[in-house]
Structure 1
Amino acid sequence: MPSAFIASPSWETARPAQTASSRRSAGASTAGEIDSTITPAAGPPEPTERDDALDALGELADHAEGATDLFVNGAAGLWADYGQGAERVEGWTLGDEAVRALAVRLIAHGGRHIDEATPAVDVRLGGGVRVHAVLPPLSTRGTLISVRIPRSGHGTLADLHGAGMFDDRAHDVLIHAVERRENILISGAAGAGKTTLLAALLGCASPTDRIVVIEDLAELQITHPHVVSLEARQPNLEGAGGVRLDSLVREALRMRPDRLVVGECRGAELRELLSALNTGHDGGAGTVHANSLDDVSTRLEALGALAGLGAAALARQTVSAFDLVVHVERHASGRRIGGLGRFALVGDRLSVVPL
């Protein structure tokens, strides 16, 4: 594998990342004992699962096909995003009580309960459809419902390339990264296409690879013969029974993953993922929210602080763990890769060197 950084003279303090091959000799992390639920996932769900989930949306179902997101803002109406930004659905109305009843029904369909004691709940329906609901008084203007809908026919990397998400150069970089078992971090804003791109990349992995996915709510739809997934569990009303992402990362290490994937890094799980990727686990991946390629390092420092990592320690571990950073953006014309980079150390702080 070539040197991990391309640095100009102004980057004289930048140091190259530990390569994928050099990490393999570092050994494997040990995992803690926890009680978790492991859900096998043999490739993407059948189309009927997605169809059933869309039918379960009730009053929203007629506007779900082709949409990526649906938003109900109390009695103010419905907004739908068909790929070019949210637009109000003219003529769609429900009263406050009807919107609340819809939220209660959708959350119950996902196996949970929403009321004044638990006024904000996130659930997963079939086929990767996600529903989030918030009741008053947390919501100041009626019940809010947000629905995230994965696109039908989970796009391959070739599909995304053909749709213009990235050019030929970026396509080659991505393919080589998967083939060389590089660890990849995908950044971007909500709805920018991080999950879509990650699933497409993992679909390019060798069919002999065992992919272990850890998510807060399972939504990655990966077309691959050997995928298993772990899903975090929220605590009950008494605050008991919760299983966090960082615990699931440790559990996943007991499952001999060929590729370890964290759907989204938000806090303490970042520390566990960095530890795993630095101790012989190549071909891994994760996503993180960030506004630009330049902002990724700042975002990781903030998450590292939540995980108890100082900026210098976070920087060294990140440079060694990840081989490639991919930033995706959402525009009116569609989703695009906005930049590719490598992590580097500038002094003792983390930075991203664009490719």
Structure 2
Amino acid sequence: MADEVTVLVEEVRRRLAAVEGSLTPHRVADALRAAGRPVGDATVLAVYEALRRDVVGAGPLDPLLRLPGVTDVLVNGPGPVRIDRGNGLEETDVVLPSEDACRRLAQRLVATGGRRIDDGAPYADVRLPDGTRCHAVLAPLAQPGTAISLRIPRRGGFTLDELRVAGALSDEAHDLVGQIVMARRAFLVSGGTGTGKTTLLAAMLGAVDPAERIVIVEDAAELRPVHPQVVGLEARPANLEGAGAVVLRDLVRQALRMRPDRLVVGEVRDAAVVDLLAAMNTGHEGGSGTLHANSAADVPARVEALALTAGLGRAAAHSQFASAVDLVLHVVRDRVSGRRRLGQIAVLERDADGWVRTEPAVTFADDGTLASGPGSRRLLDLLDGRGRG
């Protein structure tokens, strides 16, 4: 039956496209009659619903976006759509039948976010009206077909207690993370894509004193801490004419004029790292952000590379980094279970030549076991308020 409906949908689509008019069950029935197809009520409604899903919202992906716990919906060209509910990728019963269907869906989603995607601009990254982040790449750049990645923000966000219940934080990790927030230490949350950096940072911000004002700067609004005093600034891409772009670096400068008690950059991915480090060196304690890195040990090199794109020399980058940031919290995703969790807390140290490196303070195993590292004493000093040095 599903294959038959697919054939009818394509045929009706061609006929409706030839004559201007809105999509209605009556027009679908007329198109079926003109094609010599059966026009029973069940057939008309099945074709109408399939076409309606294809022109409204996220189309066939809508039911997946509404499933509890779904964080990602992934299209890898024609075939089954996959989702992630926190335990790795799952194949679903939703199937995109053709490359044309994938391409149409990508174009509609991107248009909903105010952008366009076509052969002249074959990829796009937009935020949909409901807050979902959509990234799409058209074939043949993407193989085996058009690729669509949807990242769904959790409504309301997690608290630190909820992350502990979910297994993202062990009891010891929960206590340490809470102390980091209370001690107003500046930190970066590092990790790979989809490891839960934003989730952990949002939960930590939710534990900030309600009397403090948090100003958040992001490329795409994803941080949703449960906190009474949050102001969010979101970057804006250029419009179809190539004008009107507002970049992260501009927003960081604006945020500094908004009396933040804590300045947060949702994801540092470009030259804005220089502005973040400068801001965190102006007395704004407790500043934070997220950063893509494979390990806590890789964070200094990552910061250095981003700073170089802004013209900041290596020595200056390391000096700014050392004085601005106290800690790195690295999150991981377990290969077997797919569970996202805090893997390590590291402190920053400078060697005799002035280069910054991270030293593990505590490392958390898959079962929550804590192992102290060479930076553990420094971590305790920072949490006790004995400052940097």
Q: What range describes the TM-score normalised by the shorter chain of this pair? A: 0.7 to 0.9
Q: Return the letter of the residue paired with 1:267.
A: D
1:38 aligned residue:
none
Larger CA deviation: 292-301 vs 253-262: 292-301
State the TM-score, normalizing by the size of structure 2.
0.74
Name the CA distance, whole Å, in 2 between partners of 1:147 and 1:163.
23
Name the CA distance, whole Å, in 1 between partners of 2:266 and 2:132.
15
Task: Structure 1: give runs of 5+ residues left out of the alignment.
Answer: 1-54
1:16 aligned residue:
none
2:188 aligned residue:
185
Residues 1:335 and 2:314 are matched in the alignment: no
2:357 aligned residue:
351
Q: Percent identity?
A: 51
Name the CA distance, whole Å, in 2 between partners of 1:181 and 1:100.
47
Structure 2 counterparts to residues 93-132 of structure 1, below 5 A: 93-132=96-135
1:57 aligned residue:
58
- The SS at the match of 1:294 is helix
* Cα-to-partner distance string for 1:294-347 (whole Å, 9 max, x where unaligned): 111222222122222222211111111112210000114311111001111112
- The SS at the match of 2:117 is coil
* Cα-to-partner distance string for 1:176-221 (whole Å, 9 max, x where unaligned): 2211211110000010000000100000111121111111111111
Q: CA deviation at 1:150?
A: 2.4
- The SS at the match of 2:145 is coil
Structure 2 counterparts to residues 79-94 of structure 1, below 5 A: 79-90=82-93, 92-94=95-97
Larger CA deviation: 149-158 vs 242-251: 149-158
Q: CA deviation at 1:237?
A: 4.0
- The SS at the match of 1:77 is strand
List structure 1 runs of 4+ shifted beyond 6 angstroms: none
- The partner residue of 1:229 within 211, 218, 232 is 232
Name the CA distance, whole Å, in 1 between partners of 2:354 and 2:96.
55
Name the CA distance, whole Å, in 1 between partners of 2:290 and 2:160.
17
Check conservation: 2:195, 2:331, Cα contact below 8 A: yes
State the TM-score, normalizing by the size of structure 1.
0.80
Larger CA deviation: 83-92 vs 238-247: 83-92
Instruction: Say which structure is richer in helix.
Output: 2
Q: Return the letter of the residue paired with 1:82.
A: R
Structure 2 counterparts to residues 1-355 of structure 1, below 5 A: 56-64=57-65, 65=67, 66-90=69-93, 92-331=95-334, 332-333=336-337, 334-346=339-351, 347-355=353-361
Say if 1:313 and 1:152 are closer, same or farther in 2 by CA, change over 3 A.
same
- The SS at the match of 1:272 is helix
Q: CA deviation at 1:77?
A: 3.3
Name the CA distance, whole Å, in 2 between partners of 1:267 and 1:130.
19
Structure with bigger RCO (C-alpha 8 Å, 6+ apart):
1
Q: CA deviation at 1:126?
A: 4.0
Q: How big is the alpha-carbon RMSD for the aligned residues of Structure 1 and Structure 2?
A: 1.8
- The SS at the match of 2:349 is strand
Q: CA deviation at 1:116?
A: 2.4
Check conservation: 1:207, 1:224, Cα contact below 8 A: yes
Q: CA deviation at 1:240?
A: 2.4
Check conservation: 1:125, 1:131, Cα contact below 8 A: yes
Check conservation: 1:207, 1:226, Cα contact below 8 A: yes
Task: Structure 2: give runs of 5+ residues left out of the alignment.
Answer: 1-55, 362-389
Name the CA distance, whole Å, in 2 between partners of 1:309 and 1:169.
38
Name the CA distance, whole Å, in 2 between partners of 1:127 and 1:296.
32
Q: CA deviation at 1:87?
A: 3.0
Say if 1:58 and 1:91 are closer, same or farther in 2 by CA, change over 3 A.
closer
Name the CA distance, whole Å, in 2 between partners of 1:218 and 1:165.
22
- The SS at the match of 2:231 is strand
Q: CA deviation at 1:108?
A: 2.0
- The SS at the match of 2:257 is helix
What is the total number of aligned residue pairs between the two structures? 301
Name the CA distance, whole Å, in 1 between partners of 2:101 and 2:203.
38
Q: Tell me which structure has the larger Cα radius of gyration.
A: 2
Check conservation: 1:215, 1:230, Cα contact below 8 A: yes
Check conservation: 1:212, 1:252, Cα contact below 8 A: yes
Q: CA deviation at 1:169?
A: 2.5
* Cα-to-partner distance string for 1:96-140 (whole Å, 9 max, x where unaligned): 111111111212222222222322111112443111111234324
Name the CA distance, whole Å, in 2 between partners of 1:353 and 1:287.
18
